[in-house]
Structure 1
Amino acid sequence: MTPAIKAAQKAKISFQVHEYAHDPAAPSYGLEAADALGQSPLRVFKTLLVALNGDARRLAVALVPVSGLLDLKAVASALGSKKVTMAEAQDAQRSTGYVVGGISPLGQKKRLPMVLDASALAFPSIYMSAGRRGLEIEMAASDLVALTGAVTADIGRG
């Protein structure tokens, strides 16, 4: 049981956990998850960490569909920051307590500012990492927002 699943249980929200056999050679963790679960890559979200104003000690979380890219200017705007850069993998892992490819927006070591791509609101539920590679958690986007204090904005491209 991961911290992400424990956080969802503690919040008493409706969610489902989906497990699949992770292939270490997969070129994209997110697209692998979408394919393994038989879901559209627009409905499976990747958890990315950004550094606010380039400061590795001030991180934030951004979730976008696995099929797309993160618009850094849009994330900065949504977070009220001048600019953001992608966080280094070791900083993301240290801050969240998860490994890259398994970073969940739930159950992180400390609560970070979070932005969810607004496209998530079009689905009855979305999928995201449940805290390790090969494990996804499915829930309503509105529940994710309520649990994390996330804001929604158009932060994805393509």
Structure 2
Amino acid sequence: MKIEKTNAVRLLDKEKVKYELIPYEVDESDLSAIHVAEQLGEDVNQVFKTLVLKGDKTGYFVCIIPGAEELNLKAAAKISGNKNCEMIPMKDLLGITGYIRGACSPIGMKKLFPTYIDKSCKKFSLIYISAGRRGLQIQINPDDLVKIIGINIEDLI
């Protein structure tokens, strides 16, 4: 099966980063990372979701957290240099990132935003992130992900 390359995959290829593309069955009624982990047969703590936020001082930024977890908004605001922050409205996601809900990759967004990943990623030699298309995940070493886009490792949950 030929898999069409996404912006995220092209960027990884360009930087010669080792990764594996993992397809999964999409359920349009359940785009959660929990469902993705079930489809992959993987620990939900290893399947990370990409959240886009807007801070009151710095503007847009990205947080990457384990699939079943909730983002600590106070921690995210503080870490990103904001007093307050909130998730962007879903309708704005495509225009800001170039990705749609259920397919937002932290790699290859329209613009490189400040990005933070939860420190729990260090527990794993491989994690999963969206490849930029529903039905496709990238399996990658978290250290490589951190290097490729200059991610800060923080306590986000």
Q: TM-score, normalised by structure 2?
A: 0.93
Counterpart selection for 1:20 from 24, 33, 39: 24
Report the 3-state secondary structure (helix = DSSP H, G, I; strand = E; otherwise coil) of the residue aligned with 1:42. helix
Q: How far 1:54 moved relative to its partner? A: 7.7
Q: Deviations over 1:39-64 (max 9, x none)?
A: 10100000000001188xx2111010
Gaps of 5+ in 1: none
Structure 1 contact 29–133 (Cα < 8 Å) conserved: no
Q: Runs ≥4 in structure 1, deviation > 6 angstroms? A: none
Contact 2:57 2:82 in 1 (8 A): no
Cα shift readout 1:45-87 (whole Å, capped 9, x = no counterpart): 00000001188xx211101001110001111121121121111
What is the number of equivalent residue pairs in this alignment? 153
Residue aligning to 1:78: 79
Tell me the residue number matched to 2:48.
45
Q: 1:2 aligns with which of 2, 6, 21?
A: 6
* Alignment match, 2:108: 107
* Aligned-pair Cα RMSD in Å: 1.3
TM-score under structure 1 normalisation? 0.92
2:15 aligned residue: 11
Q: Distance in 2 between matches of 1:150 and 1:81?
A: 17
Note if contact 2:57-2:81 (Cα within 8 Å) is conserved in structure 1.
no
Structure 2 spans left out of the alignment, 5+ residues: none
1:120 corresponding residue in structure 2: 121
Contact kept, 8 Å, 2:49 with 2:64, in 1: the verdict is yes
Q: Which amino acid aligns with 2:143?
A: S
Amino acid at match of 2:37: A
Separation of aligned partners in 2, 1:54 and 1:79: 9
- Checking the alignment, whether the CA contact within 8 Å between 1:102 and 1:132 is kept in structure 2 is yes
Report the Cα distance in structure 2 between the residues aligned to 1:11 and 1:134, rounded to whole angstroms: 23
1:102-126, CA deviations, whole angstroms, 9 ceiling, x for partnerless residues? 0000011110000100000110011
Alpha-carbon distance in structure 2 between the residues aligned to 1:15 and 1:78: 28
- State the partner residue of 1:98: 99
Tell me, in whole angstroms, the C-alpha distance in 2 between the residues paired with 1:32 and 1:67: 10
Counterpart of 2:140 in structure 1 is 139
Tell me how far apart the structure 2 counterparts of residues 88 and 44 of structure 1 sit (CA, whole Å).
23
Deviation at 1:25, TM superposition (A): 1.8
Give the superposition deviation at 1:90.
2.3
